Amino acid sequence: MLQRLFGGSPSRLGTPRYHKRFRRPPRLSRGWRLALLCLFLAAAAEVFIHRRQYTVRQPDIELDEPFYTSCQEPKVDAPRENAALVMLARNKELDKALKTVQSIERHFNRWFKYPIVFMNDEPWSEEFITTMNASTSGEARFEVIPRDEWTFPEWMDVDATKESIAAQGRAGILYAGMETYHHMCRFYSGTFYNLKALQQYKWYWRIEPDVDFYCAITYDPFVEMAKHDKVYGFTISLPEEPRTCPTLFREMSDWKEEHDIRTTELWKAMVAPSWAPWPLRGWLSWFSQRDRHGDGWSMCHYWSNFEIANLEFFRGRQYQDMYKYLESTGKFYTERWGDAAVHSIALAMLLDSEKVHHFEDFGYRHDWYYQCPANAPGGQLPGSKALSENHSSEPERPGGIGCRCECDGSRTRNYGGYCLNKLKQPNTAKHLSAWQWFLSWYW
């Protein structure tokens, strides 16, 4: 057929050129193919074994359930813990600070009357003091942070450090161009716990200006934390902004190894083990958010604008030694290490997971993010005189655990649940499927 169309013999139709253009590559010998297969299987097995070391061992029972799942009659005459609410604010934030105080007074402190310690790096104005004294049911204390606790370490080159901060700001790293923000992160990461103004207390509840509490908190969280042997409590867990702390995980994991600290289940939950086989995995240690072995940090952390915690843990030798090491690197300033990330990695390193409590029954908002439990069915105490000022038009919902919550409990949070699920994994018997883990990035 080809001969009729084009004439000539088949040998002239370009057959040699066809074979030259599409010549098959030489096949590997059977021995080479077998060797490559063995190498691939060995690498896959090594990765499997390595990653298995970071598999979180989940318990057979729930290790961290809500302290209560409905409204309680506040025990106004019960003994209190040695505790205080703590707020860092400035005079110019009076309106935002007042909003927070009014919210927590209406939802909690009007029954329990814990003191509130206000901290400022500048002297307080009379207007701020007068307003807060008139708004708190417990004692209000107004403390000025010592100058040496709110400045650069004395050994740092201040001019060079300020230029580094300016460069971080020009690079668009979140809050990194603000000198005071670096001071604040350093302060809350270490020196805060040893302030003279807090020495008399064992527990603290950190609150921030311009936050909302949505549910009535009718029990004493300090008493319950002590009763259940908890150390740290949180509401929201999110991924950290990666560019703020590229070397933090490396520094903290190095300190962990150098001090031969055992690996907890919570540490395993915090880590994102590498999929690369040895020795390629080690090369990944050159990248940010990696330890010296090439494994990564999941970036998950407890959002520290709300935290209820035992001061004795943070005053302890291990935590303070770790903080002094971090301080010696200077990276609270040459990077923008956040106190939330420092707290979270330290907790995962030094605590068993059951010492951490999720206050999932608290309704709370900071900035755009919120947590909103649904109201507990049959648990709203409609005839309670103590709760007469706490009104909610939100319906009770099956599975709800909130008390007179004023937010829409049809959606318990407005952020992806991946980090929350990951950090709660060592405390829960519930197993998520691969599909559920994938969806948790978005819901």
To the query of whether residue 307 is one of the catalytic residues in this protein, the response is yes
Q: CA–CA separation, 385 vs 73, rounded Å?
A: 9
Q: Which residue in 224, 251, 307, 394 is the catalytic one?
A: 307
Q: Which residues pair with 143 in a beta bridge?
A: 119
The residues facing 144 across adjacent strands are 120
CB 346 within 8 A of CB 321: no
Distance, CA of 443 to CA of 437 (rounded, Å)? 10
Q: What one-letter code names the amino acid at 374?
A: A
SS3 labels along 13-59: CCHHHHHHHCCCCCCCCHHHHHHHHHHHHHHHHHHHHHHHCCCCCCC
DSSP secondary structure letters along 272-338: E---SPTTHHHHGGGSTTB-TTS-EE--EEE-TTSEEEEHHHHHSHHHHHHHHHHHHHTHHHHS---
Is the preceding peptide bond at 398 cis, omega within 30 degrees of 0? no
With beta carbons less than 8 A apart as the criterion, state whether 309 and 232 touch: yes
Q: Does residue 290 contact residue 281 with C-beta atoms inside 8 Å?
A: no
Cα–Cα distances in angstroms (integers) from residue 38 to residues 31, 96, 276, 398, in the given order: 11, 64, 17, 54
Total residue length of the chain: 443
The structure tokens 């903080």 sit at 323
- Smallest CA-to-CA distance from 341 within 207, 267, 245 is with 245
Q: Would you call 388 helix, strand, or coil by DSSP?
A: coil
Q: Using CA atoms, how far apart are residues 155 and 165, in angstroms rounded to an integer? A: 17
Q: Which residues are catalytic?
A: 307
